[in-house]
Amino acid sequence: MAHAVKALFPETKLAIGPAIDEGFYYDFDIGRPLTPEDLSLIEKKMAEIIRQNSPFVCRIVSKKEAVELFRKMGEDYKVELLGEIPDEEVSLYEEGGFVDLCRGPHIKSAGMVTAFKLLSVAGAYWRGNEKNKMLQRIYGTSFTDKKDLTKYLDFLEEVKKRDHRRLGKELDLFSASDEIGAGLIIWHPNGALIRRSIEDFWLKEHYKSGYKVLYTPHIAKLNLWQISGHLDFYRENMYSPMEIEGIDYEIKPMNCPFHIHVFKNSLRSYKNLPIRYAELGTVYRYERSGVLHGLLRVRGFTQDDAHIFCREDQIEEEILNVLDFTLFVLKTFGFVEYDIYLSTRPEKFVGTPENWERSTNALKKALEIKGLSYEIDPGEGVFYGPKIDIKVKDSLKRPWQCSTIQVDFNNPERFDITYRGSDGKEHRPIMVHRALMGSLERFFGILIEHYSGAFPLWLAPVQVEILTIAERHADYALSLSEQLRAAEIRTELNLDNEKIGHKIRNATIMKVLIWL
């Protein structure tokens, strides 16, 4: 593809072009936005290059030689990349007179490419930094068989049909606006009704499972996040502090310090443990505008958050309980397939290696007791502890990160919280952080795409719509509507002077399951 782009637009400068799970992309500095017509031209040129069947030839050269070559070619981005490579030698690949910097390996020749498609073009800042130049990113995919390519393209069409942003607008579920602020979600009446159903279910099941529900502020003194470690390890995801009466306050990125405060507010005995606090707490995290994506990547969201304070001998049982609770909740919403990952200690962490090992072993043992298959995700734990991540698979078999369970020996020590043991001495509790759905916004977006907007009856914003055929039916329809609403059935009444076929069509478009 890069060869084709350079052939068609010789002044283009090449940036980076990696393979990704769904195919590949390449960033180009072309000097103008690309059009769908341009993509067609590039595809034709690619097909021409493939027919020539030139071999891919690897050359190992010194970094100095590579810098000189790309500087002479005017490839400034390649020169910058070379400056960050520590190796003294690098690999170049040549095909049909086209040369690029690449680790490789490659197929033997261009003619081995049998089925490909350029999918889309988008703007992308160089190195993902909005202070840098905006480049043109072309996405594409390739398969060894044209049938597989066709199957994948059909899959992409189904993805488009289920796009939660499109359905969110069509079904009047939510909106986001630059006028209000990017990444800030407004829940419309239909979406709010679904959210209330989710929250009611969440609350009922948490009370049944022995949790106590909290409400905490949206801001706190900056010092709180210094103690928790977020300022040292999470600063890039936090907003600038605000000054109130000479004291710096921070809009909260997490709920955990507040829950710790509630635990610390009273004397605790070993007999009181475990204590389980839960909150639908709204938090705010800085996300670059380029990565915001409907409900799936936002700046303000509500976590179904909880923190369990327990003795060390209770960790295993509490993790088992959380695993059962998590899988029950996911199944209730229609998710029965998932992948599980155990994320271990990252490069930057707090606490002792010994505590990290104990925490990791506790999570591992719980997964093995439940007979759950999992993969190790090395170095992907949070800074204060290891975690279990559960990625659900939707109706299109796409994985989505939702649930997480984290063991934390660190924060109890940093906040100096204790309980009185059976020996009369003070002991540190262990903290388990967990979220079952992740965030309501993201989970709702996943639900929309999972069900293609046709929610199960218990979640549907309109459970029954009553449609009148003639004006004389209005009184009876109104009476029926009142009876259904009295029975707590979410009901809409359509008395418009329209043909019944038109009313039925509108109800179908709005994914109403039952209409009378």
Beta bridge partners, 173, equal none
pLDDT 10s digits, 341-385: 999 999 888 888 888 898 899 999 999 999 999 999 999 898 888
Nearest Cα to Cα of residue 450 among 404, 392, 508: 392
Residue owning tokens 């369970």: 405
pLDDT 10s digits, 404-445: 999 988 899 999 999 999 999 999 999 999 999 999 999 999
Q: Please state the CATH superfamily assignment of the domain spanning residues 189-216+252-451 in this structure.
A: Bira Bifunctional Protein; Domain 2 (3.30.930.10)
pLDDT 10s digits, 160-170: 999 999 999 99
pLDDT of residue 74 exceeding 90, the answer is yes
What integer pLDDT is reported at residue 348 of this predicted model? Answer: 85
Half-sphere exposure of residue 305, counting CA atoms within 13 Å on the CB side?
A: 21
* From the candidate CATH numbers 3.30.450.20, 3.40.50.2020, 3.30.980.10, 3.30.300.130, the one assigned to the domain spanning 2-165: 3.30.980.10
Q: And the tokens for 273?
A: 């443990």
DSSP reduced 3-state for 426: strand
Beta bridge partners, 23, equal 20
What integer pLDDT is reported at residue 482 of this predicted model? Answer: 94
CATH 3.30.930.10 range(s) for the chain read 189-216+252-451
C-beta separation of 258 from 220 below 8 A: yes
CA distances from 18 to 102, 156, 211, 265, 439 (A): 9, 20, 46, 52, 30
Handedness of CA 21, 22, 23, 28 (dihedral sign): negative
Residue owning tokens 């390519």: 149
Comparing 155-164, 330-339, 351-360, 393-402, the range with the smallest average pLDDT is 351-360
pLDDT of residue 290 exceeding 80, the answer is no
Mean pLDDT of 327-335: 97
CA 414/CA 264 separation, integer angstroms: 12
CA 284/CA 299 separation, integer angstroms: 6
**Phi and psi at residue 406, to the nearest 5°:** -130, 135
pLDDT 10s digits, 138-161: 999 999 999 999 999 999 999 999
Residues in contact with 194: Cβ distance below 8 Å, sequence separation at least 6, in sequence order: 173, 444, 447, 455, 459, 460, 461
pLDDT of residue 232 exceeding 90, the answer is no
What value does the mean pLDDT of the chain take? 94
Mean pLDDT of 389-394: 96
What integer pLDDT is reported at residue 128 of this predicted model? Answer: 80
CATH 3.40.50.800 range(s) for the chain read 464-515
pLDDT 10s digits, 114-142: 999 999 999 888 988 778 899 999 999 99
The string over 248-282, giving b where at least 16 C-beta atoms fall within 10 Å of a residue's C-beta and e elsewhere, is ebbbbbbbbbbbbebbeeeebebeebbbbbbbbbb
DSSP reduced 3-state for 488: coil
Q: CB atoms < 10 A from the CB of 496, how many?
A: 11
CA 370 vs. chain centroid, Å, equals: 26
Residues in contact with 514: Cβ distance below 8 Å, sequence separation at least 6, in sequence order: 457, 463, 464, 465
What integer pLDDT is reported at residue 210 of this predicted model? Answer: 96
Q: CB atoms < 10 A from the CB of 235, how many?
A: 11
Nearest Cα to Cα of residue 253 among 232, 276, 230: 230
CA 92/CA 115 separation, integer angstroms: 25
Comparing 43-52, 171-180, 507-516, the range with the smallest average pLDDT is 507-516
Residues in contact with 106: Cβ distance below 8 Å, sequence separation at least 6, in sequence order: 56, 58, 93
Classify residue 56 by its DSSP letter: P
Residues in contact with 277: Cβ distance below 8 Å, sequence separation at least 6, in sequence order: 211, 212, 213, 214, 259, 262, 263, 306, 307, 308, 309
CA 129/CA 436 separation, integer angstroms: 32
What integer pLDDT is reported at residue 309 of this predicted model? Answer: 97
CA 308/CA 387 separation, integer angstroms: 14
Q: Which residues are the active-site residues?
A: 256, 285, 303, 305, 307, 387, 433
CATH 3.30.980.10 range(s) for the chain read 2-165
CA 99/CA 128 separation, integer angstroms: 25
Q: And the tokens for 101?
A: 């910097």
Residue owning tokens 């055929």: 469
pLDDT 10s digits, 456-504: 999 999 999 999 999 899 999 999 999 999 999 999 999 998 999 999 9
SS3 sequence of 270-281: HHHCCEEEEEEE
Mean pLDDT of 283-310: 93
C-beta separation of 180 from 442 below 8 A: no
CA distances from 178 to 165, 181, 185, 289, 295 (A): 15, 5, 11, 11, 15
- The amino acid present at 7, given as its one-letter code, is A
Per CATH, the number for 464-515 is 3.40.50.800
DSSP reduced 3-state for 74: coil
Beta bridge partners, 301, equal 283
C-beta separation of 468 from 507 below 8 A: no
